[in-house]
Structures are given as C-alpha cells and as structure tokens.
Structure 1
Amino acid sequence: MHSQDHTLSVFLTDEAATLGMGKTLAPSMRGGLTIFLQGDLGAGKTTLTRGILHALGHQGRVKSPTYTLVEPYVISNLHFHHFDLYRFGDPGEWEDAGFREMFNPDSICLVEWPDKAAGLLPQPDWIIRLEPEADGRRLTLLALTLTGKACLASLTDFPPSPNAA
C-alpha cells in the first residue's frame, strides 16, 4: 500500500487470491461507497465481488449481472448493487434504466464497465483495476475521495493472510 498517493497494489496469483482480496477489502467498506471496477472480460471482477459479498455476510450465489445489468443484495441494513454496463450501447441508457436512486448513503454500488455511462455516474470513491500479470493478475485500487481514502486507510488485514480465501 502506498499511503501518500492513496493507492493499493497487490499481485493475485489465482481465483482463491482474488476471493481473499475481496474478503480483505469488505470490512473497510461502508454505505455510500461508489466503486468502479475495471478490467477486461475474465479479469476477475465478479470473483472479487463474490469475495466482498461473502465477507459481508451474503450466503447465496453471486452471479455476474451481464444480462440483468444490476444484481441487488441486501445484507443487514446495507444495500449492495453490482452493476455491469458492458451491454450499454449509449451512455443515455444509464438515465433510461433509472439506476441513479440506487446510489445513496445506505448502498454500496460497484460498477463494472463504468465507461459505458461516462459522465453520468457519480464520482467513484474507489477505482479498482484488475489487469493480467504473469500467471495471475494485478489489482490496483485508487482512492479518490475523502470517503474512499478513509475506507482504504481502515484496512486491517493487509496484506491478505494466506488462508483468507
């Protein structure tokens, strides 16, 4: 972690490490957080989300919202919305879908393919990038807002313990 520039960078060897990183990030998250998740198809975006949701207490299946556009989860009093905007052909589809009200103080909103609604989404608190590297992937987290920086600073299990997955 590089605290001066509010970034975190970690190499993830496999799917288990990606799930473990999700579990590591989850306790630092709170309502009102907007996260942009970037990476190519198959980069591990849904796997990371699965790790986050299971750590927050979700017991069921976590699926990619590629066809539904958003998968909502209610965990205690927290609403978690996992968006996938890959199929948007025009940023205006964001407005037509009526998703804006889901971004509120009681929600964590994680958005895959945020560039598909460029200029219409709220400012992200975090941008998480997943990029191929060697036989695994590199996760880079950028904290952009005061809320995002405070959440990043609150990480207590970093680096992730080897058996976090």
Structure 2
Amino acid sequence: MSEREHFLADPAATEALGRALAATAPAGAVVFLEGPLGAGKSSLARAWLRALGVQGAIKSPTYTLVERYALPDGGEAAHLDLYRLADAAELDFLGLDELADARLWLVEWPERGALGLPPSDLRISLALAGTGRVARLQATSARGEAWLGKTPG
C-alpha cells in the first residue's frame, strides 16, 4: 500500500493537512492516529473536524474516550482517544455500535483497542522532528489507497 510523508513545520501546516484530508475523505473512513504523547494527534483531529464544519468546542476525548460531532452537511464524526483504556474489552462499553454509520472515525491510540475496532483505511503516524512534526500517511485498505491518491501533497 502507498505511503507519503509530510513535514509539518508549524500549527498552520497541521491545519492545512487536516483540511486536505477532510476535503478528500471517503464516507465511512476510519483513520488511526499514532505517535507518542505530544506528537500532534489531537491537533490534527481538531483541524480535521473544523474543516468538516464542526463549530464550538472540540474537546479531546482523553477522559470520555469518545466524542461525537454532528456534521453540518449530515452524518457525524467520531473522535476516539483510547490512551486510558486498560483492556480492549472495555470497548464493548463505549457504544461503538452506535457509530457504525459515522462518516469519519478518528482513533488515537488504536493499538489499545486491538481487534475491537473497525479496520483502518488510513494510518497516520506523527512524530516530533526538530521544531515541527512529520506525518507519515499510509493507506491500509483499497479505499485508503484511492483516498491517498486524491490527497494533495
């Protein structure tokens, strides 16, 4: 599967990547956001949700584990942060079945959800690089492959 890297020099570059991905995302896309604490996973998710038209506060789901956002043009997006999950079996209590029709899943710390998550279409690995960040985008499905081909960059 295809892979691409982006250097994100500053918050504006992170926002631009979020906008580009939002503009080209297929319906029902599942995105795994990976990287250490402070790598920019929540910042990218926030920029992405803003680009989809979410207004008001966009809270990090660090404590709630799941935040759902109604999208102005219909449907909803889900932002999950599984960092505090002690066991993948806890996913059963998060009501993920209610998200089956979500237009977008943004999942931070997906490795903590093990096999309880839908398969990803795109994996984004973020890492600190000097004063900026590097985002490595990797298609992980045929739909992700087509999506990555449409994303500028």
Could you say which TM-score interval applies, normalised by the shorter chain? Answer: over 0.9
Q: Distance in 1 between matches of 2:126 and 2:75?
A: 25
Q: Does residue 145 of structure 2 align to residue 146 of structure 1? A: no
* Cα pair 1:34 1:103 within 8 Å, conserved: no
Task: Identify which of 111, 114, 120 aligns with 1:115.
Answer: 111
- Identity value in percent: 41
Counterparts of residues 48-127 of structure 1 (less than 5 Å): 48-75=44-71, 76-104=73-101, 106-127=102-123
* Cα pair 1:126 1:144 within 8 Å, conserved: yes
Task: Identify which of 7, 10, 13 aligns with 1:14.
Answer: 10
Matched residue SS, 2:116: coil
Point out where structure 2 has 5 or more consecutive residues left out of the alignment: none
Q: Distance in 2 between matches of 1:26 and 1:8?
A: 17
My pick for the range that moved more, 89-98 or 79-88, is 89-98
Structure with the largest fraction of helix: 2
Point out where structure 1 has 5 or more consecutive residues left out of the alignment: 160-165
The residue aligned with 1:29 is: 25
- TM-score of the superposed pair, with normalisation by structure 2: 0.92
- Alpha-carbon shift at residue 48 of structure 1 (Å): 0.6
- Alpha-carbon shift at residue 96 of structure 1 (Å): 2.5
Q: Distance in 1 between matches of 2:144 and 2:39?
A: 23
- TM-score of the superposed pair, with normalisation by structure 1: 0.86
Cα RMSD of the aligned pairs, angstroms, is: 1.4
Q: Residue 107 of structure 1 aligns to which amino acid in structure 2?
A: R
Matched residue SS, 1:151: helix
Q: Distance in 1 between matches of 2:52 and 2:95?
A: 26
- Alpha-carbon shift at residue 100 of structure 1 (Å): 3.2
* Cα pair 2:66 2:94 within 8 Å, conserved: no
- Alpha-carbon shift at residue 97 of structure 1 (Å): 2.1
Q: Distance in 2 between matches of 1:129 and 1:100?
A: 26
The residue aligned with 2:36 is: 40
Q: Distance in 2 between matches of 1:100 and 1:113?
A: 19
- Alpha-carbon shift at residue 151 of structure 1 (Å): 1.4
Q: Residue 21 of structure 1 aligns to which amino acid in structure 2?
A: L
